């Protein structure tokens, strides 16, 4: 009986796995079509210098404008895009689109606004990020100083010579790097010695309850020390209220982004936001 039940359990498990795999395949094929139909769009979330209050950058965040489902957040489709390899093609569009937009803002005198572009580890593994970025910079004529590539800790943990060379070549184009979701990936920070980056992005999971949770505060404080001693820039993600902002400033954090100021916005709304913000600062 136990054996039969065991077999049964295994079969049920297998079927649900198949259903899940089938769903993912289905979603991947819909995404492939969506890429062709320009259903993807980038929204931009402003980033702030906490001392001057100025907007220093914009993180590009992809959304799927689905004809029936409406605006689909990346958490719902990026993992599928990664598993299916579609992230390579999608990432090509994202990099080009973000650079194109940043160049428009530069032409409009909105800058200097550094555009942060999220790059999946899969893009490094299966795509040619170096060629992609250099082509985008050439095509759009965007100054490379206005581009920051957001890398994940998991990528840098690969510690491969190949990756080191790619990142060096990218750096020699003149752009900068940040480490996204910093603090969530790994406790050993030795990779910071092998890969040069300009900025750490403290993950929002440590910011959310900063003013209530002593552990979170201790972690954030430690991350701020690490950034200071390594002379890296540091930005806190997910700032939602004034108290959290005040605490971060007290702790010595210099940059932030979050719903306290604004969620990610369509490009035209982002521009209006910057203009309004600038007018407010100067009064
Ligand atoms: P991420 O790169 O860490 O982006 C930050 C996420 O936090 C964004 O979610 C942003 O909308 C959200 N966020 C910003 N401020 C706040 C806040 O104050 N409170 C809360 N609760 N959330 C806030 P989003 O846009 O849903 O993106 C989720 C993740 O999807 C990103 O995390 C990134 O890992 C991935 N992603 C988004 N766009 C791209 C892309 O173009 N390429 C790649 N490879 N991944 C992307
Ligand atoms: Mg990011
Ligand atoms: Mg993040
Ligand atoms: Mg994240």
Residues in the chain: 283
80-121 pLDDT tens trace: 999 999 999 999 999 999 999 999 999 999 979 999 999 999
% residues pLDDT > 70 (the chain):
93
Q: Whose CA is nearest to atom 27 of ligand 1?
A: 74
**pLDDT exceeding 90 applies to what percent of the chain?**
78
List of residues 6+ apart from 41 with CB closer than 8 A: 62, 63, 64, 65, 266
Which atom of ligand 1 approaches the CA of 119 most closely?
44
Q: Report yes or no: 264 and 45 within 8 Å, Cβ to Cβ.
A: yes
Show the tokens assigned to 42.
Answer: 């980038």
Q: Given this model, what pLDDT does residue 195 score?
A: 87
**pLDDT tens string 153-191:** 989 888 788 999 999 999 999 999 999 999 887 667 888
pLDDT, position 6: 46
pLDDT at 11 over 70: no
pLDDT of 10 higher than 70: no
Tell whether omega for the bond before 195 is within 30 degrees of 0, i.e. cis: no
Strand partners, 233: 199
Task: From 257, 270, 230, select the one nearest 42 (Cα to Cα).
Answer: 270
pLDDT in the model for residue 207: 97
pTM for the whole structure: 0.93
Give the mean pLDDT of 231-240: 97
Which H or E element spans position 92?
A: helix 87-107
- Structure tokens that stand for 231 in this block: 């002379």
CA atoms within 13 A on the CB side of 92: 13
Nearest CA to ligand 1 atom 8: 61
Residues with CB under 6 A from ligand 1: 45, 60-62, 73-75, 78, 94, 118-120, 150, 180-181, 204, 237-240, 257-259, 263-264
Q: What's the pLDDT band for 28 if we cut at 50, 70, 90?
A: confident
CA of 118 to the centre of ligand 2 (A): 5
């Amino acid at each position: 009986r136990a054996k039969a039940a065991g077999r049964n359990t295994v079969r049920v498990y297998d079927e649900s796995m198949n259903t899940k795999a089938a769903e993912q395949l289905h979603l991947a094929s819909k995404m492939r079509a969506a890429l062709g139909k320009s259903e993807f769009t980038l929204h931009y979330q402003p980033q702030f210098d906490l001392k001057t209050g100025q907007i220093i950058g914009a993180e590009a965040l992809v959304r799927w404008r689905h004809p029936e489902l409406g605006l689909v957040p990346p958490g719902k489709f990026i993992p599928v895009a990664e598993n299916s390899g579609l992230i390579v093609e999608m990432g090509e569009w994202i990099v080009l689109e973000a650079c194109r937009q940043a160049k428009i803002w530069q032409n409009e005198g909105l800058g200097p606004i550094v555009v942060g572009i999220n790059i999946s580890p899969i893009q490094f593994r299966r795509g040619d990020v170096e060629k992609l970025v250099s082509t985008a910079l050439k095509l759009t004529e965007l100054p490379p100083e206005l581009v920051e590539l957001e890398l994940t800790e998991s990528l840098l943990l690969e510690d491969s010579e190949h990756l080191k060379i790619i990142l060096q070549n990218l750096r020699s184009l003149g752009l900068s790097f940040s480490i996204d979701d910093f603090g969530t990936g790994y406790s050993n920070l030795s990779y910071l010695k092998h890969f040069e980056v300009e900025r750490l992005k403290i993950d929002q999971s440590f910011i959310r309850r900063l003013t209530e949770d002593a552990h979170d505060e201790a972690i954030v404080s430690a991350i701020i020390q690490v950034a200071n001693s390594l002379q890296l820039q540091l930005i806190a993600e997910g700032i939602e209220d004034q108290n959290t902002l005040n605490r971060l400033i007290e702790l010595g954090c210099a940059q932030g982004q979050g719903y306290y100021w604004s969620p990610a916005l369509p490009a035209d709304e982002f521009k209006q936001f910057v203009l309004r913000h600038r007018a407010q600062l100067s009064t």
